[in-house]
Amino acid sequence: MKTICPTSPDVGECAEAVCDQHLPNQLKTVANTLAYALRAHGVDPTIYGNPDHADQVVGDWAASDWEHFLWLSFYGFALAEETDIRFGEVDSMVGKVIASGQVGLLLSDKTTADWNSPQSWFKATNSKFEKGRDLFDCHRRHVLRGYAEMAEQGHPPTWTGVNPPLWVLRHAR
């Protein structure tokens, strides 16, 4: 999975929506996308992730504004917390996400107290058939379709030790 699909402006809600099967890859994609965004600011991304495996749409968005970059960093932190809650472990990508987030914070001349949720978002790449819907609604529909396909293939999505978000439960078959 090389796509980041925020289903809410709230990073915690987004992380909760990611099923167990996608959690490690989503964290890796966030690390790679943060590295991609840092590279756009002249930072050598080598230790932060592989920018060649980034979600480039989100990477361009994150590189365009530090508020965007910090949102993506906080989403990575929320994914790390979700991994710990569900599996009691720290994924190997967490260090890369934390390091990238710290570098971005230093370059931005902001503090975490100065951070505000982004006022503009990237265009949903999966929404070409869903004109007029907001980004989060498009991504929720995309995620639900993916989860339905997983179930049809005999591998339904799971959430270890936690419940899936209500919007997922309402649409479960």
List, for residues 116-156, the tens digit of each pLDDT value.
778 788 776 554 445 556 788 888 888 899 899 999 999 99
Instruction: Report pLDDT for 111.
Output: 72
Q: Helix 66-87 vs helix 94-108: angle between axes, to the nearest 10 degrees?
A: 150
Q: How is residue 70 written in tokens?
A: 């910090």
**Do 56 and 123 touch, CB atoms closer than 8 A?**
no
DSSP H stretches of helix in the chain: 11-17, 23-40, 56-64, 66-87, 94-108, 135-152, 166-170
- Structural domain includes residue 101: yes
Is 1 a member of any domain? no
Is residue 104 a part of any domain in this protein?
A: yes
Residue 149 lies inside a defined structural domain of this protein = yes
Cβ–Cβ under 8 Å, residues 61 and 81 = no
Q: How many domains does the chain have?
A: 1
Q: Helix 23-40 vs helix 94-108: angle between axes, to the nearest 10 degrees?
A: 30
- Residue 161 located in a structural domain: yes
Q: Report the percentage of the chain scoring pLDDT > 90.
A: 62
Position 89 in a domain: yes
Q: Is 2 a member of any domain?
A: no
Rounded (10°) CA dihedral 85, 87, 89, 95: -70
Structural domain boundaries enclosing 58? 7-173
How high is the pLDDT of residue 124? 62
Tens digits of pLDDT across the chain (173 residues): 578 988 999 999 999 999 999 999 999 999 999 999 999 999 998 888 899 999 999 999 999 999 999 999 999 999 999 999 999 999 999 999 999 999 998 998 877 677 777 878 877 655 444 555 678 888 888 889 989 999 999 999 999 999 999 988 887 65
Position 162 in a domain? yes
